[in-house]
Amino acid sequence: MSLSQQHFSAEDSRKLAQQDFNFLGMLCMPEVFAFAFPAWYILLFSKLTQFTKRFEHFALGLPRGFAKTTWMKLLCVWYILFSDKKFILIVCAAEDLAINVVSDVMTMLGHENIVRLFGSWEANVEENQKHKKVFYFRGRTIIIQGIGAGTSVRGVNRNNQRPDVMIMDDIQKKEDAKNPELSKALMQWMLGTLMMAKSDKNCTFIFIGNMYPQNSILQKLKESRGWESFIVGGILEDGTSLWEELKPIETLLDEWDMLRELGEEDIFISEVLNSTELPLASGIDLEQIKVAPAFWDELQADGSFILIDPSGADKTSDDCTIEYYEVKDTLPILRTIKFGTFTPKETIIETLKLAMATNTRAIGVEAVAYQKSLLFWFNDYCETHGIMGFHFVPLSPRNVAKNTRIKKGVTKLCKGEILLHTNVVSLVKDQYKSWNPLKRNNKDDIIDPIGYVEEMVTTYSSIIGHDIVLSQSAGVSAAHSDELELPF
């Protein structure tokens, strides 16, 4: 749609472009502006153009595939045309992405409709680089610059001008969000380096991202009182699409079903629904996990057992996990967790050290595939070194899927049928937060054994109780203790 086809005077068009975000979009990119922005986008535009405070912080969560970057570019055009903003800094995950944003903004600003109404930004250019444009336009010198996340910000100070608009567009990549160290470093750079480079007069900070299941910066900003958050999913509470013309609800549901069938539902949930809660897909509130009362430390245990989740045969496998449980008042309590890349021999030694230190005779081993051989080597090692009094027993999945077993175990934690000692609460919760029951490649070496607790206490109850074990055996002993490779 060219300006000549509009039934407005030039002055009316300028006023309408300032007031109507959709009209501005049609002016800037008539060739691609097929659908008007829905009401939520317009309300957000209104909020970000009021400038009610000197320093404003906005955290925006818009679903992927819903033209959020296009909306952001158009917002930059509005800032240049109608505000007093002088220095817009675009920050993306990489510099080339930021350069593309700068290029697209300048292309919109250079469209013939904009030039006819407002003049050419290229008439008075001071600096024209791919990543940085400096030009005199609309009565002021304007700077727009793009940089990559984590880079130096020394170059953003030009003639004592610092950014009064900072737009952080998808600076946190999904693959980096899985790494807590990378996420923390990015957050510190954003708060401690980037945002400190602001103008002292005023600045509008805009963070645009998605709610990743792990280490989401957007989630942290949402919980901060210093940031106003506006987060919406592609499917609204009433079951309709956020933008029906662009993304019909039938299309969204088809995408969701396809990803669910492939075991990658978390992609849709985090990037389209903008949620960190649903990836658990389990209906379990981790805050409901029960912890053993502190005074129980003074109570004598009625029994105890150890569960072992052996590691795989290669270096990429999960850690081997050795978990020690006490039984008090009939309730199993997970008290100690040892884990590491143990060899089978190291697994045996670490287990026996823990068992002797805790007077534990019952040792359950997940016996799946080659891991069954660990039972043989436990008995062989003890026979060789004259160690007596232990019971090494197999634990079988019994055709129950691992994720089903894990979910059942944590459900029992929430019901208080299994308790956690304060020593292990953070380890268990942290791993469960990153566990997705819809995927099969989780890191679950700590929470997997919990799913075997029920089998252990029901099938092998006769060897768990301390009094029973002591009456049936001569206790733990080593006939050749000088030969043991147990460095107690």
For residue 282, the one-letter residue type is: S
Reported confidence tier of residue 171, pLDDT bands at 50, 70, 90 = very high
pLDDT of residue 240: 87
| Side-by-side strand order, sheet with 228-231 | 125-128, 132-137, 140-148, 87-92, 165-169, 203-209, 55-61, 228-231
Region 231-254 average pLDDT:
90
Instruction: In whole angstroms, give the CA distance from residue 360 to residue 339.
Output: 18
Domain ranges in the chain are 3-279, 286-483
Neighbours of 124 (CB within 10 A): 12
- Cβ atoms of 422 and 334 closer than 8 Å: no
Neighbours of 234 (CB within 10 A): 24
pLDDT of residue 275: 80
- Pick the range with the lowest mean pLDDT from 188-192, 269-273, 293-297: 269-273
End-to-end CA distance of the chain: 83
Backbone angles phi, psi at 107, to 5 degrees: -65, -45
CATH fold of 286-483 reads Nucleotidyltransferase; domain 5 (3.30.420)
Instruction: In whole angstroms, give the CA distance from residue 152 to residue 391.
Output: 61
- Cβ atoms of 393 and 434 closer than 8 Å: no
- Pick the range with the lowest mean pLDDT from 168-172, 201-205, 283-287, 430-434: 283-287
Angstrom CA distances, 168 to 85, 86, 199, 443, 458, stand at: 17, 17, 16, 31, 55
Assign residue 202 a region (left: φ > 0; alpha: ψ between -120 and 50; beta: otherwise): beta
What mean pLDDT, rounded, does the chain reach?
87
Residue with the bigger pLDDT between 145 and 315: it is 145
For residue 186, the one-letter residue type is: L
Instruction: In whole angstroms, give the CA distance from residue 268 to residue 271.
Output: 5
DSSP string, 357-382: HHT--EEEEE--GGGGHHHHHHHHHH
Residue with the bigger pLDDT between 219 and 278: it is 219
User: Residue 317 is encoded by which pair of tokens?
Assistant: 């496998």
Q: Is the pLDDT of residue 2 over 80?
A: no
Region 46-70 average pLDDT:
95
187-206: pLDDT as tens digits: 999 999 999 999 999 999 99
Reported confidence tier of residue 316, pLDDT bands at 50, 70, 90 = low
- 3-279 — its CATH code? 3.40.50.300
pLDDT of residue 178: 84
Region 283-297 average pLDDT:
84
Token match 């405070």: residue? 53
pLDDT of residue 39: 94
User: Looking at residue 437, what DSSP letter applies?
Assistant: T
Reported confidence tier of residue 434, pLDDT bands at 50, 70, 90 = confident
